[in-house]
Amino acid sequence: MKKNLKILYFTLFSALMSTGCEHLKPLQVDEETDQLSLADFPSAETCAECHPNHYQEWRGSAHAYAAIDPVFLEMQKLGQEETGQKLGQFCIQCHSPVSSKLGLTPPGYKNEDLPAFALEGVNCIGCHAISKIKENKNAELEYDPRTAIRGPIADPVQNNFHRSVYDDNFKQSLICGACHNVVNGVGVTIEDTFGEWQRSPAREIGQKCTDCHMPAYRGKAAVNGPEREVHRHFFVGVDVALIDFPDRRRQSEMVTALLQSAAALEVEAPSQTKAGDYLPISVNVTSKTAGHHLPSGAVADRQMWLEVTLTDKGSGQIIYQSGHLDANGDLMDRHSELQPSADQDLIQWHQKMAGANGNDVFFSWQAFDQRTQTIPPLETVSLSYDQLLPAQLTGPLQLKVKLRFRTFPPFLLRKLNLDELAAQLPIVDMAQWEGTISTQ
Ligand code: HEC
Ligand code: HEC
Ligand code: HEC
Ligand code: HEC
Ligand code: HEC
């Protein structure tokens, strides 16, 4: 059978060459050397011809953004500077895994000096040539692009460019977990999405990363293939490209929809009150995400928080507020430069990192410890915003509550000299509630 395939492969290859498709040199084992080189790893552009849908979706995804992401680049640069380049391949091993393994990205490399392949980040071959997953962290992966392209199809139609084989890894979450768990050089867990999933209700019912992030649909796996069950390659999460990037608008719409599906907000307050009274307000935030915590991943960077505003509508006076921004766009916790710690009630979900002396640090290579406050899958967090109302009120009162999300706090982007990105950072309202309380 194997021999027959080889013959078929060769026949098709010859046919291809004779029909003028010389630009596609088939992937094959080079008997002469075991050393892999860039020539063994085709670019995503090569795959586009036969897999146009997969390519189109991937090219607007965070995986295609991973090596040109300006925040990533500035952060990595700072990390190399601060550690005297001891960070080495740590960051790029996940953000452009094949190039890192091929030695194309020495510490201090500049994007303008790299081949286009390296800028493709987590590209097609970066997943589909994975031959071994050694650990569920830090891209501990082995690649073998020469023998076959691996994937989830048990009965692939063979083609003249690559041999296709079924590989069970593509039906497991571990292939995602190899990169979606980040442990820094001193053993501190920085990102734990795969770990959270292992303890999640989703896993208990057999739901994997791909079930939510690569939904199935009927379509073609390749232009010349049959119709079958295939999978989206948008990899929607929370990131929206902050630079010019393919399909930004669609990405932003999909991110907003995902975030708005991820949580529910429930507010309890009396419908009537009066001046000088005690007004009980309770807010319940429920995660609807069964797959991991909310938020998850790069939680030291993410901000998810509650904005609460109680207004005397008659006079326009704000009676109470929390979760509002200072003039720099920052939350008024202790990191606000303009009004530090002005918002004592602020509720936010994120990760705090601590340095060797327990001091606040903001970057993963500086962390000796971390504390993560995020919402476990499907759990509810209850908060109270009870108020003692002023002695004078015009009424009625208006109560507004929002659950808000953004990928970075502006102060962090300013630390990376990315002030102009800080100014255009979108905030997504994941859920909101509004009600009126009449006054006697
Ligand atoms: C000359 C056309 C052609 C090119 C170029 C090509 N493929 Fe394919 N590929 C196919 C065909 C045809 C199939 C089989 C589709 C089917 O059976 O439905 C396939 C199947 C696959 C599969 C599924 C394999 C399995 O068994 O699950 C993956 C993954 C894949 N290709 C990835 C790639 C990647 C990555 C590249 C670029 C490096 C690429 N392909 C380039 C034609 C091509
Ligand atoms: C049950 C569906 C589901 C499963 C299973 C699931 N996710 Fe998610 N994922 C979501 C939703 C909804 C969001 C958006 C809310 C959030 O950020 O948590 C999300 C967000 C993310 C994000 C962005 C996180 C952030 O807040 O910055 C990443 C990265 C991610 N998922 C990766 C994974 C990986 C890797 C797995 C498997 C180990 C996985 N997901 C399993 C539904 C799921
Ligand atoms: C982050 C890893 C990752 C990247 C990057 C990636 N894929 Fe996939 N791909 C997968 C996984 C996982 C599956 C199987 C999903 C499943 O069966 O649930 C898959 C499935 C496929 C299939 C089989 C048909 C299908 O949709 O199930 C093809 C063909 C394919 N990918 C091509 C590509 C091409 C072409 C690129 C680049 C443009 C690419 N992939 C980028 C992980 C990846
Ligand atoms: C080789 C490493 C690698 C593998 C394997 C990998 N990822 Fe990723 N993934 C990344 C990196 C790096 C990013 C962040 C890129 C950026 O925005 O700078 C990312 C981003 C994402 C995002 C977007 C997160 C956001 O906040 O928007 C999702 C969703 C995601 N990956 C899902 C998956 C799934 C599902 C799999 C398994 C099929 C997978 N990844 C496999 C490295 C990987
Ligand atoms: C184990 C693999 C891995 C390593 C190592 C790693 N990252 Fe990432 N990185 C990821 C994944 C996966 C995501 C997506 C998580 C999410 O969206 O929540 C990500 C997301 C990010 C983001 C957010 C992207 C955005 O635009 O929202 C930045 C910035 C980043 N990484 C920088 C770095 C830096 C700097 C280093 C080295 C100090 C590093 N990463 C090391 C896998 C890794």
Å from CA of 298 to ligand 1 middle: 32
Residue nearest atom 22 in ligand 5 by C-alpha distance: 72
pLDDT, position 32: 56
Choosing from 63, 95, 413 the residue with most ligand 5 atoms within 8 A of its CB, the one to mutate for a pocket test is 95
Which atom of ligand 1 is found nearest the CA of 127? 35
Confidence grade of residue 192 (pLDDT, cut at 50, 70, 90): very high
Is 138's C-beta closer than 6 angstroms to any atom of ligand 4?
A: no
pTM of the entire predicted model: 0.95
What average pLDDT score do residues 182-211 get? Answer: 97
- For strands 282-287 and 380-384, give the pairing: antiparallel
Å from CA of 222 to ligand 3 middle: 11
pLDDT, position 27: 57
344 pLDDT higher than 50: yes
Q: What percent of the chain has pLDDT over 90?
A: 90
List, chain by chain if needed, residues with CB within 6 Å of any ligand 3 atom.
44, 47, 51, 54-55, 58, 63, 122, 124, 126-128, 151-153, 170-171, 175, 210, 214, 221-222, 230-231, 233
The 10s digit of each residue's pLDDT in 62-71 is 999 999 999 9
The 10s digit of each residue's pLDDT in 66-124 is 999 999 999 999 999 999 999 999 999 999 999 999 999 999 999 999 999 999 999 99
Average pLDDT, the chain: 93
Residue nearest atom 22 in ligand 2 by C-alpha distance: 237
What average pLDDT score do residues 196-200 get? Answer: 98
The 10s digit of each residue's pLDDT in 410-433 is 999 999 999 999 988 999 999 999
- The ranges assigned to domains in the chain are 2-231, 263-439
pLDDT, position 174: 97
320 pLDDT higher than 80: yes
Choosing from 193, 232, 378, 407 the residue with most ligand 2 atoms within 8 A of its CB, the one to mutate for a pocket test is 193
CATH superfamily of 263-439: Immunoglobulins (2.60.40.10)
